[in-house]
Amino acid sequence: MIGAAAREKRNARATDRGPHERLSEATGLTARIPDLLLESRIVANTVAHGLHGRRRAGTGETFWQFRHFQTGEPAKRIDWRRSARDDHLYVREREWEAAHTLWLAIDQSPSMYFSSDMADRAKIDRAVVLSLALSDLAVRGAERVGFTGLFPPTAQRNVAERAAEALARNGDAREMASLPKPAGMGRFSDLVVFSDLLDTVVDIEAAAARIAGSGIRGHIVMIVDPVEETFPFDGRIEFSDPETSMKIVLGKSETVRDSYIARMTQRRDRIAKLCSRLDWSFTVHHTDRPAAECLLALHERLTHFVPMGAGA
């Protein structure tokens, strides 16, 4: 993020964060899990109001919609009763009912535990709320949901509670990569990643290529604290790497603001283009915005991404 840094994974924080403080933060996350679970329920219920699952055309018994008959289709697909009502031929489509697998991944690297005065919570808290809420919505829509590093896919209605319990037990676990390894994920499944994506772009591109090469479709939610984009600092500031405690001191921090913002914009554009090439969705969420706002946008994107291998 800052040119003088040896690595790109940096947090704009003016205090030194040693291993004992990072362990305390992890323990704090464990203590906050019950409240985050309750918040995820409220967010999920807010978004679920008026939604009816991820409906798509496919094999099943439930009627979904009529569409125009297309040249080359078997004539047996024509719904003659509906077609008799006007000058077009219509096909009756049914809703896809095969259970789909959705994997959820929470980046627990140290940078995710950062929060500024411009947001009321850490990035990791928002990632937990969004993932739990999405898991709840997914099982309501008859999806199978698994959490990377926690447990394999399940269709049980208590998936959010199960994930919360697993996170509470493993609150001190720290993965050092933004994107998970695809091992154990089946082809044609979807993977939703909640991360700040502060690894080097080269590492992110390599990890994404491995996931896509395994036949998995990705959906990236980039979680950003407001200060990480606006860099609202002035004067002498000491910045610390939350992973290595490496420190950078800037005498006049405001002098690097423009170059910092330009570099962050360049990083995001490169990641967005990567997702576009892979036919992945890409969502940016700021921690000073409502969680329901991001969840609704993510749900819509998942709804319009037909699972690979699903057909009419």
User: Taking CA 99 as the corner, what is the angle to CA 148 and CA 282, rounded to the nearest 5 degrees?
Assistant: 50
Q: What residues make up the domain containing 119?
A: 19-54+98-303
208 or 69: which carries more pLDDT confidence?
A: 208
Across-strand partners of 145? 102, 154
| pTM beyond 0.85 | no
Whether the predicted pLDDT of 311 surpasses 50:
no
pLDDT single digits (tens) 4-48: 333 334 333 333 344 444 445 556 888 999 999 999 999 999 888
Residues 83, 200 within the same domain: no
pLDDT single digits (tens) 41-98: 999 998 887 454 444 444 444 444 677 877 777 887 788 888 888 888 887 766 444 4
| Domain annotation covers residue 8 | no
- Per-residue pLDDT band for 287 (boundaries 50, 70, 90) equals very high
Number of folded domains that form the chain: 2
Residues 88, 217 within the same domain: no
Percent of the chain whose predicted confidence (pLDDT) is above 90 = 57
Residues 176, 28 within the same domain: yes
Residues 47, 84 within the same domain: no
| Domain annotation covers residue 131 | yes
What's the pLDDT score for residue 35? Answer: 94
Residues 23, 76 within the same domain: no
What's the pLDDT score for residue 8? Answer: 39
Residues 266, 191 within the same domain: yes
Contact 242, 22 (CB under 8 A): yes
Among 40, 101, 162, which residue's Cα sits nearest to residue 302? 101
What's the pLDDT score for residue 93? Answer: 67
Residues 80, 209 within the same domain: no
Q: Which pairs from 156-164 meet CB under 8 Å and 24+ separation?
A: 159/135, 160/37, 160/40, 160/41, 160/44, 160/132, 160/133, 160/135, 160/136, 161/37, 163/104, 163/131, 163/132, 163/135, 164/33, 164/34, 164/36, 164/37, 164/128, 164/132
pLDDT single digits (tens) 184-201: 998 889 999 999 999 999
Residues 30, 70 within the same domain: no
Residues 76, 139 within the same domain: no
Residues 69, 119 within the same domain: no
| Domain annotation covers residue 88 | yes
Q: Region 232-247: what's the mean pLDDT?
A: 88
CATH number at residue 249: 3.40.50
Residues 83, 208 within the same domain: no
| Domain annotation covers residue 107 | yes
| Domain annotation covers residue 3 | no
The structure tokens listed for 92 are: 């009756």
| Domain annotation covers residue 89 | yes
Residues 167, 205 within the same domain: yes
From first CA to last CA, the distance across the chain in angstroms is: 46
| Domain annotation covers residue 5 | no
| Domain annotation covers residue 171 | yes
